Amino acid sequence: MEQAIDWKNLGFEYMDTGSHVRAEFKDGQWTRPQLVKGNQLNLHIASTCLHYGQACFEGVKVFQRVDGTVACFRAPTHADRFASSAARLCMTAPPSELFIEAVATLVRANRSYIPPYGTGASFYVRPLLIGSSPIIGVHESHEYIFIVLGLPVGPYYKNGLVPVRGLVQEQYDRAAPNGVGHVKAAGNYAAGMLGDKEARARNFDISLYLDSATHTFVDEFTTSNFIGITRDRRFVTPDSKSVLPSVTNNCLQQIAADMGFTIERRPVRWDEIGNFSEIGACGTAAVITPLYSLTRGSETLTFGDPKTPGPVLSSLYAEIQAIQYGTKPDRWGWIHPLST
């Protein structure tokens, strides 16, 4: 063990594990992923990632399961979404096989950093793709660097599955119609930082963005998809070209359907928000974050109890965690075993 870790009290914070994995695209082909010691990268000052935003990433979770094995959750799906992000930004993504090989290489090198089963923690893997060619005119890069780093993490929000207070952003938009909101471009997150900072200053935990054209439809939270649960057992999530297709949301829809819920992917008007019995934000990092309230201007809507998540979101969370940690069968082939 490289260092003593308090597994049960981990936050969602960077921890240096001493190594990362790297591959490069040069002369029209990818190198094999290699384990690299340290956490530094030499980069040309005119790289396209620095000047023109050619950068995208993924978030993948790795778990030690109840039987002691280590597995990655939906690795091929994340690889496909990574490729989609890269294509939208005129970047060359690594093939899915290389993506998965790089994740496996990182996990093998960092076995002692994978949280033990029962601690509630996981190993978070961050694949990153950046344009590295020195180009001053606006043009896509000819060369790319693919990096995979990882670290043990606890809950994204320090209290875990506890309802939070949300603020609807009125002054800022997250993404434009026909823009890049549907891919995991690095710049999308920079666009939401100011709104989030101002929301936190007002004691809100999370920001919700509406469609930038009319501000009448729900898009998504800064880092997560929006899901709403109705009293008549409907699972509702926005259908918008500005929303990132969430791997977690996709899983929750399948689980909810198996529980007998009707799944609705459709435009969600702000004026129907009060009809939901439960509202949550979902994504790889937090899995599910229940919301107690949403404030828009002088209006505040509340959902359930301020300290206890609703029964449906609690059940969905428990079910996906059980699949990830191996206490329930993987009925849909979501688990990708990794040899360590």
Question: Where do the CATH 3.20.10.10 domains begin and end in the chain?
Answer: 164-323
* CA pair distance 216, 212, nearest whole angstrom: 9
Those residues with Cβ within 8 angstroms of residue 40's Cβ, 6 or more apart along the chain or in another chain:
none
Topology of the domain comprising 7-153: D-amino Acid Aminotransferase; Chain A, domain 1 (3.30.470)
* CA pair distance 200, 194, nearest whole angstrom: 10
Contact of 313 with 184, CB cutoff 8 Å: no
Residue 158's pLDDT is: 74
* Residue 282 Cα distances to 62, 127, 225, 249, angstroms: 17, 20, 5, 6
* CA pair distance 61, 212, nearest whole angstrom: 31
Contact of 273 with 294, CB cutoff 8 Å: yes
| Own/partner pairs, 98-102, CB within 8 angstroms, 24+ separation | 98/23, 98/30, 98/32, 98/33, 98/146, 99/75, 99/127, 99/146, 100/72, 100/75, 100/76, 100/336, 101/32, 101/33, 102/21, 102/23, 102/33, 102/127, 102/146, 102/148
Residue 339's pLDDT is: 78
pTM equals 0.95
Contact of 338 with 61, CB cutoff 8 Å: no
Those residues with Cβ within 8 angstroms of residue 316's Cβ, 6 or more apart along the chain or in another chain:
252, 255, 256, 259, 288
Question: Where do the CATH 3.30.470.10 domains begin and end in the chain?
Answer: 7-153
DSSP label of 124: E
Kindly report the CATH number that applies to the domain delimited by 164-323.
Answer: 3.20.10.10
DSSP label of 237: E
- Work out the end-to-end distance of the chain between its first and last CA atoms, rounded to an integer number of angstroms: 15
Residues 70-110: tens digit of each pLDDT: 999 999 999 999 999 999 999 999 999 999 999 999 999 99
Residues 264-297: tens digit of each pLDDT: 999 999 999 999 999 999 999 999 999 999 999 9
Residue 156's pLDDT is: 87
* CA pair distance 72, 107, nearest whole angstrom: 9
Residue 2's pLDDT is: 53
Strand partners for 145:
24, 130
**Low-confidence residues in the chain, pLDDT < 50:** 1
DSSP label of 269: B
Query: Which is it for the CA torsion 158, 3, 112, 36, positive or negative?
Result: positive
Residue 157's pLDDT is: 81
Can you tell me whether residue 250 is helix, strand or coil? helix
